Homo-oligomer: A and B are copies of this chain.
Amino acid sequence: MPEVYKQLIDVADTLERHYKDMQDIEFTVEDGTLYMLQTRNGKRTAAAAVKIAVDMVREGLITEDEALLRIDPAALDQLLHPRIPSDDENKKAGKPNYDVAFKGLPASPGAAVGKVVFDSEEAFHMAAKGEDVILVRVETSPDDIKGMHAARAIVTARGGMTSHAAVVARGMGRPCVCGASDLRIDTAKGEFTARGRTFKKGDMITVDGVNGRVIAGAVELINPDLSGDFGELMGWADKRRKLKVRANAETPLDTRTAVEFGAEGVGLCRTEHMFFEEERIPAVRTMILSNDEAGRREALAKLLPMQRSDFEEIFRILGERPATIRLLDPPLHEFLPHTDEDIAGVAKASGLSAEELRRRAADLHESNPMLGHRGCRLGITYPEIYEMQARAIFEAAVNVSKEGKLKPVPEVMIPLVATHRELDILKKLVDETAKKVFAETGVTLDYMVGTMIELPRAALAAGEIAQAAEFFSFGTNDLTQTTLGISRDDAGKFLPAYSEKGIYEKDPFVTLDQEGVGELVKIAAERGRKTRAGIKLGICGEHGGDPASVEFCHRTGLDYVSCSPYRVPIARLAAAQAAIRGARK
């Protein structure tokens, strides 16, 4: 090796030691002399960043804290999902370019391979048979939850980064490409066309959620490498952070994923997702369509064992980790059929005429369902629903505790509270149900009752609400909608113009609006603690997995953040960074 290259290695080594980071160096050699032109911190993939940071700690170049600060938490997302080889890797491996069928928005990261399917019901059935499916829809609605859960990835023709498909897919950790305007779906023919090509139901495609591409055929995926370096870094993060990290999960699969990714409990178990499952929705609909309490109670009795077994499975997976279980939240019309075909099916099953069914659905129609008959308002008007859910929770906890040494820790959460009086009434209902179950079974368990703080009025009245609430979970999705007066489902029409003009620097549904929503969180935390010093405070909106928002939660002194399972490591790292930065100030 000529002397000049030895010099170069020396200099590079010195520079890297000086800057304590991998350097991207420009140099030239003229007449045998080395000229250094420029040096800067090198760009790297998340995997490389983790490796470099951990190596440097091992070499004593940087501290663990410095290593933790070097990694962009958001970039970890790349590491947590299977991915397709990059175009470069592909090229180097001598493989042809990807056959991109169409593009859309990169709405949820990761990659997945599967067969095209257009119907959520069908996606569910095919997945049940062990097939990998990709759900392709014009757009999704809450009816599609089951199919979205069953699918490996989701693709939609309409909707932005905050559309139902995008938000739910991110929450579930499913790769998603949305708003693919070239995509034309013909459900009747069982096919879609894009850029002049036609794909049929059952055709194999690969969804690249990182780059918003849908590729024809099956690409071999690279599995996430959660090996030593990553684990070591996460260990350092866990030592440093003050915030606990929980996950939003309601299926056994998601709960297991959450625990694998290091979640310390479930921060939001949305019980309504359990209501959409195929064998349950008829009973749910019978309940809704009942004319009286007796009819509702009969239908609820059928749902009780199903909800109970859901909770049992979640408690078994969680062990002694706590689970915050939110009682029914969405307006009841979300559970009724919408398409003519579904209406005919439900009419047949329920014994009502299609016309009567339509009339009942019209009666339940709301101008602004987000601000309508939902959340604890359901519990106030139909206490038997919340009573059944509370019973299912306590019976499940008792059953699991009887199985062995596990003592489940249920935290029953009442949603959409605005006044302490709502919580007083519903806490009484939950407490009475617990007492009954404990008397019936001879087993008594600890549990908590608390509330979501997701309405501005609840934040302002937090002092009074904390008299009954043992915990607050900030539902920052809805708190953002009400504080800013923006419906997340409708924001697509103007939020792009708002970003362009700098009105909101960041999408307030992604990064917490600290000036507005954040002030309400602070007010509620302060007033809640004044009434009940040790009140447990957490956040369970999508913001729980956003690093800037996690930092805000740390600064505000919350106890935990809860986010989608796939964002748990991101939140762990972000919480550690917040603690380190906070300590340095």
With beta carbons under 8 angstroms apart, the residue of B369, B381, B422 that contacts A367 is: B369
With a cutoff of 8 Å between Cβ atoms, the chain B residues found around residue A490 in the complex are 366-369, 371-373
Q: Are A416 and B485 in contact (CB under 8 A)?
A: yes
Q: Are B503 and A484 in contact (CB under 8 A)?
A: no
Q: Give, as a whole number of angstroms, the nearest-CB distance from A335 to chain B.
A: 15
Provide the A93-129 mask, 1 if CB < 8 A to any CB of B, else 0: 0000000000000000000000000000000000000
Q: Are B478 and A457 in contact (CB under 8 A)?
A: no
Interface centre among A457, A486, A513, A520 (most CB of B within 10 A): A457
Q: Give, as a whole number of angstroms, the nearest-CB distance from A275 to chain B.
A: 19
Q: Are B478 and A371 in contact (CB under 8 A)?
A: no
**Docked pose: A278 CA to B278 CA in angstroms:** 50
With a cutoff of 8 Å between Cβ atoms, the chain B residues found around residue A421 in the complex are 501-503
Q: Give, as a whole number of angstroms, the nearest-CB distance from A164 to chain B.
A: 9
Within 8 A of B (CB), among A460-501: 460-461, 478, 481-487, 489-490, 493-494, 497-498, 501
Q: Are A478 and B485 in contact (CB under 8 A)?
A: yes
A456 at the interface (CB under 8 A from B): yes
Q: Give, as a whole number of angstroms, the nearest-CB distance from A122 to chain B.
A: 26
A8 at the interface (CB under 8 A from B): no
**Docked pose: A205 CA to B62 CA in angstroms:** 88
Asked, given contacts A485-B482, A504-B419, A516-B418, whether A369 binds B372 with beta carbons under 8 Å apart, the answer is: no
Whose C-beta in chain B lies nearest to the C-beta of A504?
A: B419
Q: Are B369 and A370 in contact (CB under 8 A)?
A: no
With a cutoff of 8 Å between Cβ atoms, the chain B residues found around residue A501 in the complex are 380, 421, 425
A232 at the interface (CB under 8 A from B): no
A427 at the interface (CB under 8 A from B): no
| Ranked 8 nearest A-B pairs via Cβ | A371-B487, A457-B516, A368-B487, A372-B490, A456-B456, A367-B489, A455-B485, A373-B493
Give A residues with C-beta under 8 Å from B: 366-373, 377, 380-381, 416, 418-419, 421-422, 425, 454-457, 460-461, 478, 481-487, 489-490, 493-494, 497-498, 501-504, 513, 515-517, 519-520
Q: Apart from A371-B486, A371-B487, A418-B516, what are 4 other A-B pairs with CB-CB below 8 Å?
A: A367-B487, A368-B368, A368-B369, A482-B485
